[in-house]
Amino acid sequence: MANTIKLRAATLLLCLVLAIAALAPTIARDSLPEWWRGMFDPIHLGLDLQGGMHLVLGVEAEKAVETRLDMIADQVETLLREKDVVYKRVSRQGDLVAVTLYDEAAAKQVDDLLAEQFRGLEGSSLGADSGFVAKGYRLSAAEADNVREYAVRQALETMRNRVDQFGVSEPILQRQADNRILIQLPGVKDPQRALDLLGKTARLEFKMVVDNANPQDAVKGILPPGTQLLYEKRVDKQTGTVTETPMVVESKTSLTGDLLADAQVRIDNRFNEPYVAIEFNPVGAKRFDQITAAGVGRRMAIVLDDTIYSAPVIRERISGGSAQISGSFTEQAATDLAIVLRAGSLPAPVKILENRTVGPSLGRDSINQGMLSVALAVVLVVVAMIIYYRLAGVVATVALGLNLLFMLGCLSLFKATLTLPGIAGIALTLGMAIDANVLINERIREELRIGKSARAALDAGYEKAFWSIMDANLTTLMAGLILFQFGTGPIKGFAVTLSVGIATTLFTALFVTRLIYDFFMQRRHVERLSV
């Protein structure tokens, strides 16, 4: 018996030391050595406790389908040139890629080529007119759905990469129904910068400039077919004046930022201005090589979110897969642009559907009120237990305190986020912990009433209460795990503390209290229990 008590006491002491070590960074982080702070993290507070941003973004997935069709149209043109197929025109018309050919033989050849090269593309005849044969190719319903699904998943991953590089700890990013993404950023110090960073589509496109088109006519709405009007934005660093120059570009996108491998901020030594240097992946480098080879002497517009940053003339073929985005950048603006490009261009635009900012003062009030409620619950329970169960109530109180300590220590070790519903879960757990002690004490009382000795009553009390306590707590634990798996936001915060609390409750109620009883009964030879 003595060896068993020593082993259990050592186990309890180890758990106690680990819990205190894990909680120390939360209580006194600045006074701890660097190695300690590196080993254990403080308890992270949720958005409702420390303030921050709550955003709901909507992904315009249909735009991803349009982009896919634009890319297919561009690739079809390249393919037909490589295969020496004579054609008149390739263009995107609504939800299909239209190919105009000179005869049926060429149309049959195009059908075979596209069936071999492109998955999920369905062809149909658009009729013949004036000696030309028109074919239309659209994405199948299944393939279009795949493109939309991929757009939302990639948008979520891109947002996660941006948040990680922005440096927010314990962010929450979750996909919701109707192509929506929930983002919560606790402790954000600059909400507007975060909003700009996340709300920016960072849709990088390279489009050829139509030099023979009159931009002034375009401003009046007179645009050649297959073109669009965009504006080149310039900011005067001296005066801050913004000028916008109209420019006509091809509607077709020659290359997108999806093929980027890296983006870094560089300083132009001649003008001492920052710019963003970009590197394409092998596929993008090959495509960039083809575009520049075919467009020598023309201007290529570098477009980000429908704004032209620069439109340099292609002097020669560029085979290295490198380019640069220059403009009237501040260093912060260039850094943010590099972040969103490096994190990945969004496959479709996003709209900010909901934007709420929670102030830190509201978070402090929530913490104070939550802790007050927990403290009040603990005090009332402790007083009731001591009055009703006397020394057994004191044992239950010690177990309750250790339960709270172990629970918070586990939250720190698991790097969980404590939210206001999580505080409610702590209060509920403490109530359930006391309930377990009540079951044990009542069983012991029953055994004492029938005349059993203190040791026999103690053994029988724990044995008979064991399965009742296990049943009640395990069913609650199952409910908590289900809430964690399928719940979102506040529900998850509640489920985390509830589930962790169930484990610590079983440990303190069945292990710690029994250890205390066994220790004193062996040392003092107790013959009568104060229950």
**Does residue 90 contact residue 106 with C-beta atoms inside 8 Å?**
no
Strands 180-186 and 417-418: unpaired
d(CA 77, CA 437): 77
Residues in the chain: 531
**Does residue 201 contact residue 158 with C-beta atoms inside 8 Å?**
no
Supply the mean pLDDT for the chain.
Answer: 82
Q: Which residues of 1-14 are buried (b: 16+ CB within 10 A; e: fewer)?
A: eeeeeeebeeebee
Instruction: List, in order, residues 6 or more apart from 168 with CB less than 8 Å away.
Output: 185, 186, 187, 188, 194
Residue 527: which pLDDT band, with cuts at 50, 70 and 90? Answer: low
Greater pLDDT, 417 or 468: 468
Amino acid making up residue 96: L
Which range among 32-36, 138-142, 485-489 has the greatest average pLDDT?
Answer: 138-142
Question: Quick one: average pLDDT of 91-96?
Answer: 85
Question: Quick one: average pLDDT of 94-98?
Answer: 86
Encoded tokens for 71: 């890319």
Residue 316 pLDDT exceeds 60? yes
Confidence (pLDDT) at 208: 92
Residue 13: which pLDDT band, with cuts at 50, 70 and 90? Answer: very high
Residue 362 pLDDT exceeds 60? no
Greater pLDDT, 378 or 524: 378
Q: Give the rounded percent of residues in the chain with a pLDDT score beyond 70.
A: 91
Question: Quick one: average pLDDT of 169-194?
Answer: 80
Mapped onto helix, strand or coil, the DSSP state of residue 430 is helix
Greater pLDDT, 121 or 191: 121
Residue 283: which pLDDT band, with cuts at 50, 70 and 90? Answer: confident
Distances in Å between the Cα of 277 and the Cα atoms of 284, 338, 468 are 15, 8, 66
Q: Give the rounded percent of residues in the chain with a pLDDT score beyond 90.
A: 8
Amino acid making up residue 492: K
CATH topology of domain 200-357: Gyrase A; domain 2 (3.30.1360)
Distances in Å between the Cα of 302 and the Cα atoms of 135, 236, 280, 313 are 32, 19, 14, 11
**Does residue 494 contact residue 421 with C-beta atoms inside 8 Å?**
yes
CATH number attached to the domain at 2-51+359-524: 1.20.1640.10
Confidence (pLDDT) at 252: 83
Strands 242-250 and 121-129: unpaired
How many CB atoms sit inside 10 A of residue 61's CB?
20
CATH class (in words) of the domain with range 63-142: alpha beta
Confidence (pLDDT) at 228: 92
> Where along the chain do its domains lie?
2-51+359-524, 63-142, 200-357
How far apart, in Å, do the first and last CA atoms of the chain sit?
23
d(CA 16, CA 499): 20
Encoded tokens for 446: 């029953």
Residue 141 pLDDT exceeds 80? yes
Residue 280: which pLDDT band, with cuts at 50, 70 and 90? Answer: confident
**Does residue 313 contact residue 338 with C-beta atoms inside 8 Å?**
no
Residue 162: which pLDDT band, with cuts at 50, 70 and 90? Answer: confident
Helix axes 513-524, 2-28, angle to 10 degrees: 130
Instruction: List, in order, residues 6 or more apart from 426 with CB less than 8 Å away.
Output: 374, 404, 407, 497, 501
Residue 145 pLDDT exceeds 80? yes
Residue 361 pLDDT exceeds 60? no
pLDDT in tens, 201-210: 667 788 999 9
**Does residue 59 contact residue 350 with C-beta atoms inside 8 Å?**
yes
Confidence (pLDDT) at 402: 92
**Does residue 189 contact residue 166 with C-beta atoms inside 8 Å?**
no
Low-confidence winner among 1-10, 218-227, 467-476, 493-502 (lowest mean pLDDT): 1-10
pLDDT in tens, 43-75: 877 777 777 788 888 888 888 888 888 888 888
Q: Which residues of 106-130 are buried (b: 16+ CB within 10 A; e: fewer)?
A: bbebbeebbeeebeebebeebeeee
d(CA 514, CA 521): 10
**Does residue 79 contact residue 113 with C-beta atoms inside 8 Å?**
yes
Residue 165: which pLDDT band, with cuts at 50, 70 and 90? Answer: low
d(CA 184, CA 182): 7
Confidence (pLDDT) at 32: 79
Residue 246 pLDDT exceeds 90? yes
Residue 227 pLDDT exceeds 70? yes
Distances in Å between the Cα of 530 and the Cα atoms of 144, 387, 434, 457, 515 are 73, 11, 17, 12, 16
Greater pLDDT, 320 or 457: 457
Mapped onto helix, strand or coil, the DSSP state of residue 29 is coil
pLDDT in tens, 101-120: 888 888 888 888 888 888 88
Which residues lie across from 174 on neighbouring strands?
182
Residue 344: which pLDDT band, with cuts at 50, 70 and 90? Answer: low
Residue 230 pLDDT exceeds 60? yes
Residue 258 pLDDT exceeds 80? no
Provide Rg for the chain, Cα atoms: 34
Question: Quick one: average pLDDT of 372-390?
Answer: 84
